[in-house]
Each structure stands twice: as C-alpha cells, then as structure tokens.
Amino acid sequence: MTAEIINGKDLAQELRNEMKEEVTELIQKGLTPHLTVVLVGDNPASRSYVRGKEKAASEVGIESSLIELPESTSEDELLSLIQQLNTDERIHGILVQLPLPKQIREQEVIEAISPAKDVDGFHPINIGRMMTGEDTFLPCTPYGILTMLQSKNIEIEGKHAVIIGRSNIVGKPVGQLLLNENATVTYCHSRTADLKAYTQKADILVAAIGRANAITSDYIKEGAVVIDVGINRLDNGKLTGDVDFAGAMKKASYVTPVPKGVGPMTIAMLLKNTIKAAKGLASIGK
C-alpha cells in the first residue's frame, strides 16, 4: 500500500481562490474585512508566521495591519491596546501572535479579545460554543485538519480517532471537532502508558507532540489516516513532522506531509474566520 498525500498547500490555495471571490463581493457591498495582528517582541519564528499571514490576507483582498510592540511591553499596555481594537469598528479580526514575553500572561490576553473578533478561536466563549456544537470561530489548526479530512471525503462518523497531544491550541480542540462529527475519540499524551496500544487501533491518527519522527510505522494501523501536526527543524535545517513520513506512506491510506500539510491550512482558516467575523459584525450574509 502507498498512501495518498493530502496536500495542504494545494488545498489552501483552492480555498484562498474561493475566498478572493467572496471578499471581492463583500468589497463591492462596501465591506472590506480587516485583520489586525499584534506582535510583541522579535521572535524570528513569530515574525515569519506573521509575514505568511499578511501575504495570504493580501492575496484574498483582506486588509491587514501589523502592530509591533517591544519585548518590554507590559501586560497592562497590551490589554489596553486590545481594548482599543475591540471597540474599533473598522477592525473585524484581532490576532495576538503567541508566544508572548514572560511578563505577559497569555490566558489574560486571550480572554481580553472580544469573542466577536477572536479569529484564532481561542476565547473561552468560542471554545465553549465549539464544545456544544454551536456556530462559532473554530481554532484554526483543528479547523484546517477537519477541512483536509472533508476534502478527501474521509469518513469520520463511527471511526476511532486517536489524538497524540493535549494542547489547548491543537490536541484538545481537534478531538472535540472530530467528536462533533461522531467519531469515537481517544486522547493520548506524554503520560500515556503503552501508547502503541492506542495508536495501533486508530482509524484516524493525529500526531501533535512536537518530537521529530516520533511516530514510526509500527504505531500505525494498516489503512489509517495519519495527520501530522508537528513542525520540527532537524540539525541539517530541514523541516520534519512528528511522523516518520516514509514509514507512514507504506502503511496508511492518507498522510499529510511536513511541510505543505497542516501549516498552510492554519493560515487559510484564519482568513476564513476573518471573513466570517466581518460578515457577522456588519450583519452581511446572516
């Protein structure tokens, strides 16, 4: 068996093309979706992510602005800025790039963003709405993963999904989204005893643990769908995922690559959420 690759880069491009048409129509109606990104400090990885978001927003016609703050910014200063952005009617989506400097509590910042402008989908109100299956802004990476599965018409209902990782950004919400689609979900993590006993039973395996090539072919059930969320840089500078790609290709039915897998989809779903926020705040398309 040779697995089929789910190419997130190509799918994200398709979605951006569709969004460009939608944004063009919104602009003709007098509404230009606007995303504001706040970058605190000068983390090179964060700066690279922000550049990618700006480029993608520009491609689909979303207006984006970047507010850069020094590493020394206090929590109160950042919260004050967020309050200003919350009340600015020209801004539809607010994204504060994580991680933040140690003097700023991330959860305080996440909760300060208006749920109506929380295009990252991290606010407890939006997470709660996701948990109860209501319409909301879904966290971008889990939303991207679900979209990738749906793009290949992969059956989720009744399947056993195993999530390796329990972060608030990926692990927990992706499990909940799959549960909302009627999968049976098992969460595994660093304290799980006999990890293979769980992963070898997975119809859908999502690896989000942050360890290069940790999931080898002997963890994978024959014919499983393998979603690799990991992004790890090897000593030679190459990027690799949490899954041994070559091994997974021989065992799985579908595999996401790294790069060109989940990463591009995360940004695409951020844009989708921004358009949704613009339509909601302007009462367009309701």
Q: Are 146 and 178 in contact (CB under 8 A)?
A: yes
Is 107 an active-site residue? no
Is 53 an active-site residue? yes
- Active-site pick, 55, 76, 88, 97: 97
Angle, CA of 249, 250 and 256, to the nearest 5° = 15
Residue 34 to residue 94: CA distance in whole angstroms: 9
User: Would the annotation count 167 as a binding residue?
Assistant: yes
Q: Are 202 and 225 in contact (CB under 8 A)?
A: no
User: Would the annotation count 52 as a binding residue?
Assistant: no
User: Would the annotation count 166 as a binding residue?
Assistant: yes
CB-hemisphere CA count at 13 Å for 48? 5
Nearest to 60 by CA among 203, 286, 273: 273
- Active-site pick, 118, 120, 228, 244: 120
User: Would the annotation count 191 as a binding residue?
Assistant: no
- Active-site pick, 53, 172, 251, 279: 53
Q: Are 227 and 145 in contact (CB under 8 A)?
A: yes
Residue 170 is encoded by which pair of tokens? 């990926």
Q: Are 281 and 116 in contact (CB under 8 A)?
A: yes
* Tokens 């295009």 -> residue: 119
Q: In this structure, how many other beta carbons lie within 10 angstroms of the beta carbon of residue 91?
A: 21
Residue 168 is encoded by which pair of tokens? 């608030």
Q: Are 236 and 100 in contact (CB under 8 A)?
A: no
Strand partners of residue 206: 163, 227
Residue 202 to residue 222: CA distance in whole angstroms: 9
* Tokens 């006993």 -> residue: 197
Burial of 139 (0-12, 13-18, 19+ CB in 10 A): buried
Annotated binding site: 165-167, 231
Annotated binding site for NADP(+): 165-167, 231
**Residues involved in catalysis:** 53, 97, 120
